[in-house]
Structure 1
Amino acid sequence: MARQPIFLNGIEFKFQKDAIEHFKNMLERYRNGQSIAGDDRDMLLALLERHPEADKKIGCGVKRLYKDRTDMPTSCFWIERTDGARTDFSYRTAISAKRKSLYQEFLEACRVAVQDDLLVAKKEYFEKWGDRDKKVKCHITGDKVAIYESHLDHKKPLTFEVLVYTFISANDIEIKPEMLLMSQDAQFQTTMIDQELKDKFRLYHHKTAKLRVIKAEQNLSLGGSERIRKSRNPVLIPKELLGD
């Protein structure tokens, strides 16, 4: 079936990537806390109508649209309703006009389960291996990178998605909605309700994952043809996070 173009406020986007680029640039033009105004506001309202949870997001009505921070080091579009309530608004979700599958929600909850531990591991790695400028080598290019210029990458073949899949299979898990606390107003990520399951995944991940530091832009350009090499200085999860 041929891809359908996206029409928003009289403007045609032939491909989703074109719409993503448009709204990404829009977001970057505004400061945190600044209201979206003029033609940008009209475009964003038109996009909001495509969101799979548009009725829930809009609620009693939109008072203003603005940019602000999330609970992570990123910013996104926000909605302030006429009753004063506020909620976040993902332009990518609205462009795709699709809800996340239950598996995708579980995958996100797994990421949330380990994200704090990975921040600790990354910080300790830079403290141990950093040079005088507190930089380490990218495991792919060899270029020196600072902690804020880098990502932690799950080295193939044990990508994060593979770890989650094998965890589900090994533990015969049937994913159910009641296992997860889905994102809500001002809650940006899906989390696990069952603390025991969360801890079980954390330990499985920490004992299985092969981590490395790479340049941030490399994380977006890794292809299937990447040669698998042994990491000289792998990123290790601190022992105190591994449990018994």
Structure 2
Amino acid sequence: MRKPFKIGPKEYKFKKDAISHYRTILNSYDCGLSLNEADFEDLIDLLDYDYFNYLAELEITQEIQAEEIDDEGKTNKNNESGETEILIEDIKVARVQFNTKCFEVFYNDQTSQYISYLMILNNTKYTPEKLFYVACRNSVHDDIKSVKQDYFDKNSVKGQVKCQETGILSKWTELAIDHRQPNTFSVIVDRFKEVNRIELEKIEYISNDQNHIIFQDADWKEKFRKYHSEKANLRIVRTECNSSRTAMARLKRTSKDLTIE
């Protein structure tokens, strides 16, 4: 008998049924609207499905401590490090490139990110290369957030700043930090691997208090942070802006580029 496709408490006979379910949720909302409680919980289950497949595929066996299960069956992890725990506050439907929709997840640290239900459901095999990319991204998460915060502190007018692409006054949640071409984030990661002659199969990972995949060896985090700060030419732009800007394919920094201090 075929094993059911399970996400959270729900079971689907086929993966296509799960895809249809999440597509229906996405298409039932206008852009900018928050999900209702039931749909919010389904998206949380999808994110947990993505995360736990991550760990299972890579056989990460970090012991999870101080874990409590609340009355609703959600997992809460105590944060003994004294750092603010990053939690999901809201999930909305957003409009992105080519007038398409996707889910946008909002966190309590005032950041947000787009997620694709199709990528999660169709791409559950996490190769060493993909894991390395995610660990690199998480290594500079605080740096990227600091760049955005610094730009707002210096340029904010009634809680809004100008998008460096369009000039439109925009709120924090309407903007993202973009890596200007040709040094896109993927290019920086690839060059870092080449420069350091990294053997991906030998790199080990753990998950931190926020369930983020990070390098087990903290030296790799610091090495990548330094390399990224030297190579990244950053702009703060509206989230719907197309990041593939052929007119900006220059290596030298300009006076408008934001840098990590």
TM-score, normalised relative to structure 2: 0.58
Aligned 8 A contact 1:180 1:191 in 2: yes
More off after superposition, 169-178 vs 198-207: 169-178
Query: 1:45-84 maps to which residues of 2 (within 5 A)?
Result: 71-73=86-88
Q: CA deviation at 1:222?
A: 3.3
- Between the aligned partners of 1:213 and 1:34, the Cα distance in structure 2 is 28
Instruction: Write the letter of the residue equivalent to 2:146.
Output: V
Equivalenced residue count is 194
Q: CA deviation at 1:226?
A: 3.7
Task: Name the counterpart of 1:228.
Answer: 248
Task: Name the counterpart of 2:217.
Answer: 194
- Between the aligned partners of 1:235 and 1:32, the Cα distance in structure 2 is 40
Task: Name the counterpart of 1:21.
Answer: 23
Instruction: Write the letter of the residue equivalent to 2:179.
Output: H
- Between the aligned partners of 2:258 and 2:189, the Cα distance in structure 1 is 19
- Cα RMSD after superposing both structures: 4.3
Task: Name the counterpart of 2:226.
Answer: 203
Call closer, same or farther: CA 1:32–1:112 in 2, change over 3 Å. Answer: farther
Aligned 8 A contact 1:102 1:177 in 2: no
Task: Name the counterpart of 1:86.
Answer: none
- Unmatched runs of 5 consecutive residues or more in structure 2: 1-11, 58-70, 77-84, 92-115
Call closer, same or farther: CA 1:168–1:75 in 2, change over 3 Å. Answer: farther
Structure label with greater radius of gyration: 1
Q: CA deviation at 1:213?
A: 0.4
1:31 equivalent among 29, 37, 40: 37
Query: 1:140-179 maps to which residues of 2 (within 5 A)?
Result: 140-176=165-201, 178-179=203-204
Residue aligned with 1:107, SS? helix
Instruction: Write the letter of the residue equivalent to 1:210.
Output: N
Q: Which stretches of structure 1, 4 residues or more, deviate above 4 A after TM superposition?
A: 8-13, 23-28, 32-36, 63-68, 72-76, 90-94, 229-232
1:128 equivalent among 144, 154, 171: 154
Residue aligned with 2:136, SS? helix
Residue aligned with 1:227, SS? helix
Deviations 1:168-212 (A, max 9, x none): 1011111125522268xx864311011111101101101110000
Aligned 8 A contact 2:206 2:215 in 1: yes
Between the aligned residues of both structures, percent identity stands at 24
Residue aligned with 2:164, SS? coil
Deviations 1:137-182 (A, max 9, x none): 2122121112221000000100001001001101111112552226
Instruction: Write the letter of the residue equivalent to 2:221.
Output: K
- Between the aligned partners of 1:208 and 1:10, the Cα distance in structure 2 is 44
Call closer, same or farther: CA 1:118–1:163 in 2, change over 3 Å. Answer: same
- Unmatched runs of 5 consecutive residues or more in structure 1: 1-7, 57-62, 77-89, 239-244
Call closer, same or farther: CA 1:10–1:172 in 2, change over 3 Å. Answer: closer
Aligned 8 A contact 1:30 1:67 in 2: no
Aligned 8 A contact 1:52 1:94 in 2: no
- Between the aligned partners of 2:206 and 2:211, the Cα distance in structure 1 is 11
Aligned 8 A contact 2:15 2:121 in 1: no
- Between the aligned partners of 2:132 and 2:160, the Cα distance in structure 1 is 34
Instruction: Write the letter of the residue equivalent to 1:227.
Output: A
